[in-house]
Structure formats: structure tokens, C-alpha cells
Amino acid sequence: MLKGLIFDVDETLVYYEGYDHREWYEGWVLPELRRHGIDLDYETYRRTVRGDLPRSYVERFGIDHVEFWKIVDEVNLRYRREMARLGRIKPFPDVGALGKLKKMGMKLAAVSNASQECTEFVLGLFGLRKYFEVVYGKDYSNLDGVKPSPYLVEKALNALGLKPEEAMMVGDSYHDVLAGKRAGMKVVNVTRFGKIEGADYYVKDLWELVELVKKMGVHSP
């Protein structure tokens, strides 16, 4: 029986108006890296984020890789605070479905490749943190454990006390699908930005997810 759901955060629960990954990197991150004497081109950075290269690859540029990712995450938190101030971080209009899922008895967790602080910040902005029993951002002791690795998902399963067959992964990206599959779970793709191949179920929004959960034999008290 289905007992829990593990959610991605960015682009699944909240979105950033006008966000462009390359513009963010070159406009926000690169100037800060250069202040630390690092000039890392966007394409190489993108390949580390995609998982084509290990997170430790940046050490060839003369910086400890944990320190490197901490610099990136500090910039990301500044960026998020500024976007929040400008009203450019928005919750999707269906996030109220989280409350319904909780009332149905679902155990909920959130996992993100962003830092713990960045993840808690955006969930806190819109009062979403209260729905989740656990929230996990990237783990500096295992930086290659970010999605598509199953590490964060497995960490959430353990914290919820659930087996992989008792929970589903819910996300918008290929990394979410892979991470869920590698953890031995069924995966629900929220198709806000199109279908991702390899998911087990497709829903257009979180209210459709509620209906899917109901069909799987979980009913409101």
C-alpha cells in the first residue's frame, strides 16, 4: 500500500519568473567565483550539475570542491532572497494539494539538489515546510549524492520509515525520474514542462496527483 510521497521542490512546487540557468550562472555565480580566483566556463559548470562530471572535478581549478559548492550555494541563497523581494518566486497554484495529501494520511518528504538553506528558504516563503516530515538539500559530505543519484531519496525513505515500494517520487525532471527509479520506487512526472520519458505515471498538476493516490487505494479519513 502507498504510504508516502517524496517531492522535488524547484519547478515542481515553486518556480522562478524569468529564470535562465546560464544567465544566473554568468550574472550571479561567475563574478563571485572570479573573486576567489576561479574562472570556470558555463559549459563545464553545467556538466558537473548534470552529473556528466563529478562534483570534485572543480578541484583542478585549484579549490577544494566542498568550498566551491558552498560558494555557489551562498550565491544561490542571495539570488533567491532577491527574487523573493522582487516577487519573482511563485508557488504553483496547486500546492494546496499537499494539505489534502497529508489529510489522506500520506507521509511527505522533499528533496532538492539545492542547499538545505536554499530549500528551506523557498518552502518557508509560502508556508509549505509544514507539510513535510523531512526536507533534504544537498549533503556536503556526499556532493555526488545529488539527483540523479538515489542518495537523497533513500535518505528520505529511511527518515520516513518506508520501503521503496511504499512510496513514490514526484518531480518534473529527468533527474527526478532517474533518482526515484534508482531507489527502486515508482515515479510520478508532473508534466508542467512536458513529459519525461521513463516515469510510471503522468499528472498535469498536484490535484491530479491526489486523484491518482486515491485510485491506488488511499482514501480520506
Reduced to 3 states, what is the DSSP secondary structure of residue 56?
helix
Residues 118 and 80 in one domain: no
Which residue range is the domain that position 67 belongs to? 21-85
Query: Is 80 within the bounds of a domain?
Result: yes
Angle of the 116-125 helix axis to the 65-85 helix axis, nearest 10: 10
pLDDT at 132: 98
> For residue 107, what is the enclosing H or E element?
strand 107-111
Last residue in a domain, options 85, 102, 132: 85
CA 91 to chain centre: 14
Same domain, yes or no, for 76 and 94? no
Same domain, 75 and 129: no
Whole-number pLDDT of residue 221: 45
**Is the model's pTM score more than 0.85?**
yes
* Alpha helices (H) along the chain: 21-24, 30-35, 42-50, 65-85, 97-103, 116-125, 151-160, 174-182, 206-215
pLDDT number for residue 219: 44
pLDDT score for 217 = 76
pLDDT in tens, the chain (221 residues): 899 999 999 999 999 999 999 999 999 999 999 999 999 999 999 999 988 999 999 999 999 999 999 999 999 999 999 999 999 999 999 999 999 999 999 999 999 999 999 999 999 999 999 999 999 999 999 999 999 999 999 999 999 999 999 999 999 999 999 999 999 999 999 999 999 999 999 999 999 999 999 999 764 44
Q: How many CB atoms lie within 10 A of CB 18?
A: 8
Query: Look-up: residue for cell 507539510?
Result: 131
- State whether 111 and 96 are in the same domain: yes
- Collect contacts of 58-67 with beta carbons under 8 A, ≥24 apart: 62/37, 62/38, 63/36, 63/38, 65/143, 66/140, 66/143
Asked whether residue 108 is assigned to any structural domain, the reply reads yes
Q: How many structural domains comprise the chain? A: 2
- From 70, 85, 100, the end of a domain falls on 85
Contact criterion met (CB below 8 Å) for 129 and 121: no
Q: What is the CATH number of the domain that holds 168?
A: 3.40.50.1000
Verify that 35 and 62 share a domain, yes or no.
Answer: yes
Residues 80, 56 within the same domain: yes
